[in-house]
Chain A
Amino acid sequence: MGVRNQQLDFAEFYRGAADECLRTVLVSVGDQDTAQELVDEAFARAWASWRDVSRHPAPKAWVVRTALNTGISRWRRRRREVPVPDLARVADLPAASGASASLVDPQVMAALARLPARQRQVVALRLVLDLDTARTAEVLGIAPGTVMAHLGRAMAALRHDLQPELQQESQS
């Protein structure tokens, strides 16, 4: 494949996968700016290794795994120090407090933020990226049974957290 074809191929992949990967990483890390930065870096790495990544059986999973493994906390985009996001606090922001906050469901994000990190990653990969158990296990480097256990606990916790909210919504 020529360089130009490779670039077109990558561009097509990026356009089709960027939103889904961003949403997956957002659910995992809980902060949109952080998620965008991690996903951008992961896609840049995918471009740099596109010959290999394009042959990967699940390129989107490759991107998400790379994003989750990438630590970019040293990178400062602005002159202020960037604090590590407090997941619960970010997710509890009212929708009116910022443009990005209005794009997510604050109740669901708050419930997700209360999950342990590994459970949140499993939820992101299984429910948002729609990976099967085996692929999720491969991405996270854990056993398939562990994935199922994490998902089961996460679903129970989310149901407990969100049930009253949803019932209230349906009654009003």
Chain B
Amino acid sequence: MNDNELSTAVRESVAGIHSATPVAQIISRGRAVRARRRIPRVAGALTVAAAGTALAVPMLVSSGHPGSHPARIQLDAWTVTKQANGDIDVTINQLRNPEGLQSALRADGLPVNLTFSDTTSNHIRVVQNASCRDYAAGPDVLNAVVHGGSYASGTILVIHPSALPSGVGLNIFVTPDTKYLTLVLSLVHTSRQCTG
């Protein structure tokens, strides 16, 4: 076998592979990238204002989401911003007040069950709300509903409620890892006890 034949064999070995991600999903995810890049600048502004003024918090909204709708709820630990197209951007910096975050997301029309873990472990111990029933679907469905990840500068989620199938909500479990927050996401059937 000569080099050309070998090269062809390698190329053809993956020729049947095609990207399954629509460009709109990439662009949406790119928005999350831009959002997380803004965080260090915002943190710098907060440091400057560390004399104790509460005005530093509203500044986070205008700096973080120029031209978008104002954040409905804003706390030090996390922010929730509903975009004009119905998407919801969530930034989590600290594991505090999960009930407040859950309420804010539900108020923005997202059927959601949210849990923060306060245990650090090499293995994720998922605390499942016993009222929640898993919705069986492929990863494509979940990927269409939510993008994001955990980074040193914070945890960013971009949620698309319109992509949720009828009668389905989002289950979010956030747990601290050694350095980052780890997100465990799944889809669940909506119910008053589970997703509000």
Contact B9 A108 (CB under 8 A): yes
Nearest opposing residue in chain B for A106, CB measure: B13
With A76-B185, A78-B139, A128-B14 as known contacts, state yes or no: A166 contacts B9, CB within 8 Å: yes
- Chain B residues lying within 8 Å of A136, measured Cβ to Cβ, are none
Task: Tell me, yes or no, whether B11 is within 8 Å of chain A by CB.
Answer: yes
- Chain A residues lying within 8 Å of B10, measured Cβ to Cβ, are 27, 108, 112, 123, 127-128, 158
- Chain A residues lying within 8 Å of B180, measured Cβ to Cβ, are 74
Contact B142 A19 (CB under 8 A): no
Q: Which of B12, B14, B149 is A72 in contact with, Cβ under 8 Å?
A: B149
Of residues 20 to 50 in B, which have CB atoms within 8 Å of A's CB atoms?
20-21, 23, 25-27, 29-34, 37
Task: Tell me, yes or no, whether B166 is within 8 Å of chain A by CB.
Answer: no
**Interface range for A:** 35 or more
Task: Tell me, yes or no, whether A26 is within 8 Å of chain B by CB.
Answer: yes
Contact A79 B34 (CB under 8 A): no
Task: Tell me, yes or no, whether B6 is within 8 Å of chain A by CB.
Answer: yes
Nearest opposing residue in chain B for A23, CB measure: B14
Contact A105 B12 (CB under 8 A): yes
- Chain B residues lying within 8 Å of A33, measured Cβ to Cβ, are 139
Contact A76 B29 (CB under 8 A): no
Instruction: Count A-B pairs with CB separation below 8 Å.
Output: 134
Contact A47 B150 (CB under 8 A): no
Contact A77 B139 (CB under 8 A): yes
- Chain B residues lying within 8 Å of A10, measured Cβ to Cβ, are 23, 27
Question: What per-residue 1/0 map shows which CB atoms of A1-44 lie under 8 Å from chain B?
Answer: 00000010011001100110111001100001100100111011
Task: Tell me, yes or no, whether A153 is within 8 Å of chain B by CB.
Answer: no
Contact A76 B184 (CB under 8 A): yes
Contact B14 A104 (CB under 8 A): yes
Nearest opposing residue in chain B for A47, CB measure: B30
A102 to B16, CA, bound (A): 9
Contact B1 A162 (CB under 8 A): yes
Task: Tell me, yes or no, whether A93 is within 8 Å of chain B by CB.
Answer: no
- Chain A residues lying within 8 Å of B34, measured Cβ to Cβ, are 48
- Min CB distance A116 to B, Å, is 16
Q: Which of B3, B11, B171, B186 is A155 in contact with, Cβ under 8 Å?
A: B3
Of residues 93 to 149 in B, which have CB atoms within 8 Å of A's CB atoms?
123-124, 126, 134, 139, 142-143, 147-149
- Chain B residues lying within 8 Å of A109, measured Cβ to Cβ, are 13-14
A26 to B17, CA, bound (A): 9
Task: Tell me, yes or no, whether B15 is within 8 Å of chain A by CB.
Answer: yes
With A40-B21, A48-B34, A162-B6 as known contacts, state yes or no: A74 contacts B29, CB within 8 Å: no
A50 to B90, CA, bound (A): 24
Task: Tell me, yes or no, whether B19 is within 8 Å of chain A by CB.
Answer: yes
A46 to B147, CA, bound (A): 16
Task: Tell me, yes or no, whether A96 is within 8 Å of chain B by CB.
Answer: no
User: Which chain B residues have a beta carbon within 8 Å of chain A's beta carbons?
Assistant: 1, 3, 5-7, 9-21, 23, 25-27, 29-34, 37, 123-124, 126, 134, 139, 142-143, 147-150, 171, 173, 177, 180, 182-186
A-B contact pairs, 20 of them (CB 8 A): A23-B14, A23-B15, A27-B13, A33-B139, A41-B149, A44-B30, A44-B147, A47-B29, A74-B177, A74-B182, A76-B182, A79-B134, A81-B123, A104-B13, A109-B13, A109-B14, A158-B6, A162-B6, A162-B9, A166-B9
